[in-house]
Amino acid sequence: MNISVHAEADLNAVGHNDLANAVRFLAVDAIEKSQSGHPGLPMGMADVATVLFSRFLKFDAANPNWADRDRFVLSAGHGSMLLYALLYLTGGDIGLDDLKAFRQWGSKTPGHPEYGHTPGVEVTTGPLGQGIATAVGMALAERMANARYGDDLVDHFTYVIAGDGCLMEGISQEAISLAGHLKLSRLIVLFDDNGISIDGSTSLATSDDQLKRFAASGWSVRRVDGHDPEAIEQAIAEERETAAPSLIACRTVIGYGAPGRQGTEKAHGAPLGTEETAAARRNLGWDYQPFVVPSPVLKAWRMIGQRGQVEHLAWLDRCERAEAADRRQVPDMGAVALPAAYAQASAKLRERFATERPKLATRQASQLVLDGIASAIPGLVGGSADLTHSNLTQSKTQHPVKPGAFAGDYIHYGIREHGMAAAMNGIALHGGFIPYGGTFLAFSDYSRPAIRLAALMRLRVIHVMTHDSIGLGEDGPTHQPVEHLAALRVIPNLLVFRPADAVETLEAWDCALAASDRPSVLCLSRQALPTFRSDARGKNRVSQGAYPVVTPDGGRDVTLIATGSEVSIALEAARLLATEHIRAAVVSAPCFALFEEQPEDYRAKVLGTAPRVGIEAAVQGDWARWIGVGGEFVGMCGFGASAPAAVLYREFGITPQTVAAAARRAVARVNEGK
C-alpha cells in the first residue's frame, strides 16, 4: 500500500513545530488531568522524538510487532506520556480516552511503560538504566539474526531515549562497555542532556563528561541542539552510517515552553498546574483546548504512522520468496518453539542419566544437558559473566559471538552480571532466541533488578547460577549464598530450581525451556551429588515442584523435605531413622513455585500429615509454610565460612545425624501431644 501524493502533501504542509507541540500538549494535558506524572521530559524531548518518528523510525502503527521494525526504547520511562502521545498520534492502539485515563486503574497508559500491556511498548522501563541496557541486548539480537538471515530479512535499528538518571546508574557502564566492545552499530542513544535531576542541577552529584565516557568505550559521539530539528536530523542520519554504536547528546530544556518552570527541577515530576499550562500554550502558540489536536496535524501524524506499511509489505514479500526457496531461511522473531529434535535429545539424556546414575555436580550435569540439546534448539544462545569454565555454560557445539562476527551462539559478557541480565532480557524481547547466562548464585544480587523485570515482562530468560551453597567450600562467606534462594523465591512469576541430581537437572532445564512466559533460575551445585533417580521414561517430576522420593511402607512418622544437595542428606537421615523404627518419607522440592501451583490434593498427599523437617543449606526464608506448625528446619542461620565443603556441613550442623535428631524431636512433640 503506497501513500498517495495527496497524503504526502498533507504531511509536508504541517510544520515540525506543530507536530512536536501536539506531542508536548497531549502529554501535559494527560498529566494535568491525572494530577500525576512527569511533564519535563515529554516537553523537552518532543523535538527529538518528532524528528525520529517522522523522518527515520521504521514502523507500521497498525502492526506494532512487525519483526523487522526499528525498536524504540524509552529508557527514561518516567517520561511515558511522550511515548503514549506518539502511539496515539501515529494511529496505534491507544485512543484519546486512554490518554485521559493516564495512570488510572485498568488503563493502557500506566505510569511507566509496560511491555505486553500497551501495544507498541517494546520494553518495561522505569528503573533507570534498565532500558539502555536492555536495548543493548536488542541491538545484539538484531545483528545475530542478521548474520543468520541476511540484510533482506533483518535490517533494523534500535533507538533509545535516555536521561541523566539512566547514565548515572551503574548498569549503564556495563551496557555501554559491552555495546562498544561488540561494535553494535545499529544502536543509537539519544541522550536527553538537560542537566536537571530531581534534586536540582546534575552538577550537584556528577561532573562526568558523557561524550568522553562513551567515546572511551568505543562509541561514536556528538552533541546537538535538541530543539533544532534540522541539526537533529543531520546527526541521526550521519550516525546511522557509523561502524560503532552512537550517542547523540541532545542539549534540551526540561519542560521546554513552560515559562515559569522550564530549565528547573520543578518541571520534572509534577503537573504544571492550570496557570503554567495556559502560559505554556501561549508561549508556544498552541491555541487549542486540552486533548485537541487540529485535524491537519493529526492527519499528518497518521500519515507518519502509515508510511511503514510500504516497507512492511515489501518485507513480507521478501519473506514469501525466501520461504519458497527454503523455509529455514525465514526469520521467526516470535517465541522460539522447541523442535522435535529437542525432545528426542532430552529423552536420550534422561535414559543415560537414569541408567548410569552418575555422581557429579549439578553444574556438570547441566553441562552435559547443554552438550546434548544445544544443537537441537537453533535459537538457544548461551553466555556467562566471565565464569564459563566454572558455570559450565558453553556446549561443545557453541561458538562465541565476536565484534563484527555475530553468527555465533555464545556470548562472553565479561564481568558484567547486571548488564548481562538486562541484555538477555533484550535478546528475548527482540525475538528469535532463547537466552541463558551464567554466574555464581551469590552474585544474583547484581542481576536481581533485571531478573525482576524479566518476571514482570513474562520473558523466557534462563539464569544458570552455580556454586549454590556453602558447598562451594574454601572461597568463603563472600561467595557462599545463604539468603539468595529465599530472596529469589519471593519474586512473582519467577521459577527458582534447585535440582538434586543429574535427572532433576535435566528436568529443570526442560521446565525452564518450556516456560515461555516466565524466567527461570537454575541453582546448581559445585560439589558432586549422587543420582538417586532411575526412572528413565517417567513423568517430569520437577514440573510438579515437589514429589516423594521415599514413601515408607505402612505410613510415615515424619516427612523430610529437602532441595538440591541436601536431598542426599535427607535420604541418609531416613536410613538412620529406619534403624530406630521411625518411618521417614523423603520429599525432593526442587521448585517451590511449581509446587504451589499444583492441586491442593496433590500437595496434601506429598506433604502428608506427619510432622515435617525442612533441610536446605540456606536461611529458612519461607520454609515455614511447607514444614508447618511444629516443624523443624535444618539449615543456615548466618553466613558461611572458609573451609572444605564437608567441614562446613559438619560444623554448621547440616548432616544426616542432625536431620535425624530434628526428626526425633518433631515426632516426640507429636507423641507428647496425643
Mean pLDDT of 632-646: 97
Distance, CA of 565 to CA of 606 (rounded, Å): 20
User: Cβ distance 133 to 174 under 8 Å?
Assistant: yes
Distance, CA of 523 to CA of 366 (rounded, Å): 10
pLDDT at residue 331, as a whole number: 67
pLDDT digits (tens, 9 = 90+) for 164-193: 999 999 999 999 999 999 999 999 999 999
Is residue 652 very low, low, confident or very high in pLDDT (cuts 50, 70, 90)? very high
Total-model pTM: 0.96
Q: Which CATH number applies to 545-673: 3.40.50.720, 3.40.605.10, 3.30.70.100, 3.40.50.920?
A: 3.40.50.920
Is residue 323 very low, low, confident or very high in pLDDT (cuts 50, 70, 90)? confident
Tell whether the model's pLDDT for residue 661 goes beyond 70: yes
120 φ, ψ (degrees, to nearest 5): 100, -15
pLDDT at residue 52, as a whole number: 98
What class does CATH assign to 340-524?
alpha beta
pLDDT at residue 347, as a whole number: 94
pLDDT at residue 576, as a whole number: 98
pLDDT at residue 327, as a whole number: 63
Give the containing element (helix H, strand E) for 162: strand 158-163
pLDDT digits (tens, 9 = 90+) for 54-91: 999 999 999 999 999 999 999 999 999 999 999 999 99
Distance, CA of 355 to CA of 531 (rounded, Å): 10
Q: Helix (H) and strand (E) counts for the chain?
A: 24, 18
Q: Which residues are catalytic?
A: 417
pLDDT at residue 629, as a whole number: 86
Give the containing element (helix H, strand E) for 121: none
Tell whether the model's pLDDT for residue 10 goes beyond 70: no
Angle at Cα 212 formed by Cα 209 and Cα 217, nearest 5°? 130
Q: Tell me 643's DSSP state.
A: S
Tell whether the model's pLDDT for residue 6 goes beyond 60: no
- Do domains 5-312 and 545-673 share one topology? The answer is yes
* C-alpha cell at position 472: 562451594
User: Cβ distance 346 to 373 under 8 Å?
Assistant: yes
Domain boundaries in the chain? Answer: 5-312, 340-524, 545-673
H helical segments located in 515-599: 566-578, 592-596
Is residue 201 very low, low, confident or very high in pLDDT (cuts 50, 70, 90)? very high
User: Cβ distance 186 to 138 under 8 Å?
Assistant: no
pLDDT digits (tens, 9 = 90+) for 513-556: 999 999 999 999 999 999 999 988 889 999 999 999 999 999 99
Tell whether the model's pLDDT for residue 7 goes beyond 60: no
Tell whether the model's pLDDT for residue 2 goes beyond 70: no
Tell whether the model's pLDDT for residue 324 goes beyond 90: no
Mean pLDDT of 447-454: 98
Distance, CA of 159 to CA of 8 (rounded, Å): 25
Could you confirm whether domain 5-312 is CATH 3.40.50.970? yes
